[in-house]
Amino acid sequence: MRAYEERDRSELERLARALFPDAGDDLFSPGSTWFVIDRGGRLGGYVEVGTRPYAEGCDTSPVAYIEAWYVDDDLRRNGWGRRLFAAVEDWARAHGHTELASGSLLDNHVSIAAHKSLGFREVERQVHFAKRL
């Protein structure tokens, strides 16, 4: 497990497409930091962290925010997700943040359980709406 390097770009894009198969070209948030699971030339997972001006359930601003988190199926339930989050927590503390936030789709029960196992508490549920004009 290590910080992202530019040579990881194609592998990081492969993982991001596995997480967001319907995404266009904007797979990553500007100004983000990534930590990756290195399998020796091939990546096995990643976490993308950035900051947001606010996050539900948080009192500080800006807030360190997990934008994306993915671990290949064969590496899940082996502590890799926990290691990625430990790197994020270290990064957040080093940048002066005292809170870390994240989100999940309502029906992603695996992600919700994983977040709870890492000490996150659920603070809100949302349904988003859109209308084309």
Please spell the DSSP secondary structure of 72-86, one letter per residue: -GGGTTTTHHHHHHH
Q: What angle do CA 115, 37, 94 make, to 5 degrees?
A: 65
Top-tier CATH class for 2-117: alpha beta
pLDDT for 23 equals 86
78-87 — which CB contacts under 8 Å span 24+ positions?
80/1, 80/37, 80/44, 80/45, 81/45, 81/114, 81/118, 82/118, 83/1, 83/37, 84/1, 84/35, 84/37, 84/45, 84/46, 84/47, 85/47, 85/118, 87/1, 87/3, 87/35, 87/47
* Structural domain boundaries in the chain: 2-117
Q: What angle do CA 53, 15, 4 make, to 5 degrees?
A: 65
pLDDT for 67 equals 94
pLDDT for 50 equals 95
Specify whether the CB–CB gap between 52 and 43 falls below 8 A.
Answer: no
Strand boundaries in the chain, DSSP class E: 2-3, 33-38, 43-52, 63-71, 100-101
pLDDT for 129 equals 79
State the 10-residue block means of pLDDT for the chain, 133 residues long. Answer: 93 93 83 94 94 94 95 92 95 97 92 92 87 87
